[in-house]
Structure 1
Amino acid sequence: MSSTGKIAIIGVGNMGEAVLAGLLKAGHAPADVLAGVRRPERATALAETYGVAAVDPAEAAERAEVLVLGVKPYQVVDLLGGLPLRAGQLVVSLAAGLTTAAIEAALPAGIGVVRVMPNTPSLVGEGMSVIAGGATASAEQVTLTESLMAAVGAVATVPESQLDAAAAISGSGPAYVFYVAEALVEAGVHLGLPRAVATQLVTQTLVGSSLMLRETGEHPAVLRENVTSPGGTTAAALRVLENAGLRGTLLDATRANRDRSREIARGHM
C-alpha cells in the first residue's frame, strides 16, 4: 500500500484532530487527508482550519485507503457496519481496550487492522503512540501506521498482548503526570508561593526533567541520584515519598488501568 493514498480520519475529536494536524505538519497534502464527520458545523470548522475535505464518514471511507478511527470504543463496531469498505484498505483504531480481533470480526475479508494507543501530548506533537498489528495486517501496513503516527510524536510497536500494559503507562500516563503537577502546585501554595509562581516552577521542572530523561539516555535512578545529596533536603523529601509507598501505589494504579482495559475488551463498558 502506498503511503501517498488518501487517509480518512473518522471521528475528529481531540485525538483525531491531533493526528490530522500532525499529518499535515509532516507534509501530507490537504488533498490527501479527509475528515469524516457527521455534524455540518464541525465539517465547516475543520475545512476552514486545515483546508481538508470534511465529508460524511461513509464518503470518507469510500474515498480513502487508510481509515483512522477516532471514535469511542463502543461506537467502533456499529460505525464499521455502516461504511462501504473494501479489500485492501487499512483500518487504524485509536480505541482503548478494543482488540484487533473484535474489529476484524466486523469487517469484510482482506482489510488490515492495526491498533494504536496514542496519548494527549500528541496534541502538541510530543505524543507516545504504541502500535500493534492484527492478524490481517501486513508488515507493510504496520510500517505505514508507524509512519502516520510518527507525525505526532514517538512510536513503539509491541505484540498486542502487551498493548494494554503499555497503554497503562503511556496512554493514561499524562493524567498521572498532571495529577502530580497539580499536587506540587498546591504544595508550593501551601509553602507560601504565589500560585502563578508555583505553576511556573512545576511546569518548567517537569519539562526540563523530561528532556533530561530523553536527551541523556540515563536511567531515571541515575538522574535522581544526581539531585540527591546524602543527608540533604532532597533525600529528606524522597524518604517521605518512599515511606508513603509511592512506588507500590503507582504499580497498583497501572495494574488497575490494565485490568479495566481488559474489561472493556470483554464488553463490560
Structure 2
Amino acid sequence: MGETLLSAFVASGRRPGDLVVSEKVEERAADLRARYGVQTTDPATAVQRAAVVLVVVKPQDVAAIVQDVAPHVDPAATVLSLAAGVRIAAYEDALADGVAVVRAMPNTPAVVGEGMFGVSPGRACDEERLAAVVALLETGGRVAVVPEEQQDAVTAVSGSGPAYVFYLAEAMIDAGVDAGLDRETARTLTEQTLRGAAALLADSDDEPAELRRRVTSPNGTTHAAITTFDEHGVDEGLRAGVRAAARRSAELSGS
C-alpha cells in the first residue's frame, strides 16, 4: 500500500523532491529512488521536516517506529496511519501535544486509483489538516470521514470488501464454465458485468434493491437465480461474513 500511494502522489503531480521515504531494505530503497525520484533515508530523518507523516507498516511494528520518530516529529505535523487495527490513542500517547493524528483504512483497488479510504481524525486534528489528508488520499480513490468507533465496520465493508467481490467473481466464472463457456470467456463476461454493475450503481440515486428489481422479471432467468440464492441463504451468509470481519477487526485493535 505504501508504494501504491507513492505512485498515486507522483502521478497526481506532486514533486518527487518533496517526498521522503524511509525503507529499511536498501535494495528496495534504491528501487524507489530509481522509479519515482524520491529521497530515501532513516525514519527519524524522514519525519523531521514533514508536514504529513505516513505510517504504512505492519501493526506489530508501529510501537517501535513511533517511539523512534516521536522526538523528531514537528508538533505542527499530521501523522496519517494506515496500519490496520492500530488505534489513534497509540500515536497520541507517544507524540507531542499538537501533532494531529488521522487513522485510515484503505483497500486494494487504490492500486488502480479506485480505492476507498475510511478516515478518522484524532483530537488535535482540525478541519484544515483533515482536509489536507482527504485531498492527499483522494489521489488513490474516494474518502469517507467516520468516527473511530466505526473503523471496525469500515474494515469489514470496504477494507475486506474487495475480497468479497473476488469471491463472487470466482463463483460466477466457475458457474459459467459449468454452463459450457470456456474460462477466458467466462472471466471476460464476469469482469465486465461487475464493472458495469458497479458503474451503474455509482451513477444512480436508486437503492441497489431497486436496481436489482429492474433486472428481475417475474419467472425469468434472473428471478430463478435470485430465488435460488435466497433458498441457499446467500444474503444472510454475506451479512454474517461482514459481521465476523467487524468482530475480528475489533479483536485485533483491542476495541
What is the TM-score of this pair, normalised by structure 2?
0.95
One of 219, 238, 249 as aligned partner of 1:250: 238
2:91 counterpart of 1:92: no
Match of 2:95 in 1: 107
Give a deviation string over 1:209-258, Cα, whole Å, max 9, x none. 10111122321111111111111010000001111111211111111111
> 1:101·1:135 contact (CA, 8 Å) conserved in 2?
no
Match of 1:262 in 2: 250
2:166 counterpart of 1:178: yes
Distance in 1, Cα, partners of 2:7 & 2:205 = 29
Distance in 2, Cα, partners of 1:212 & 1:199 = 20
Give unpaired runs (5+ residues) of structure 2: none
> 2:19·2:38 contact (CA, 8 Å) conserved in 1?
yes
2:216 counterpart of 1:234: no
Counterpart secondary structure, 2:79: strand
Counterpart secondary structure, 2:65: helix
CA drift at 1:97: 1.5
Distance in 2, Cα, partners of 1:102 & 1:36 = 21
Counterpart secondary structure, 1:128: strand
Match of 1:225 in 2: 213
Q: 2:220 is matched by which residue type in structure 1?
A: G
Counterpart secondary structure, 1:181: helix
Give a deviation string over 1:82-136, Cα, whole Å, max 9, x none. 1122311111001121111122112222211000111100000001111110112
Give unpaired runs (5+ residues) of structure 1: 1-14
2:183 counterpart of 1:195: yes
CA drift at 1:57: 2.1
CA RMSD of aligned residues (A): 1.3
What is the TM-score of this pair, normalised by structure 1?
0.91
Which deviates more, 166-175 or 217-226?
A: 217-226
CA drift at 1:63: 3.1
CA drift at 1:142: 1.2
> 1:46·1:52 contact (CA, 8 Å) conserved in 2?
yes
One of 100, 119, 131 as aligned partner of 1:143: 131
Counterpart secondary structure, 2:48: helix
Counterpart secondary structure, 2:80: strand
Counterpart secondary structure, 1:87: coil
Match of 1:40 in 2: 26
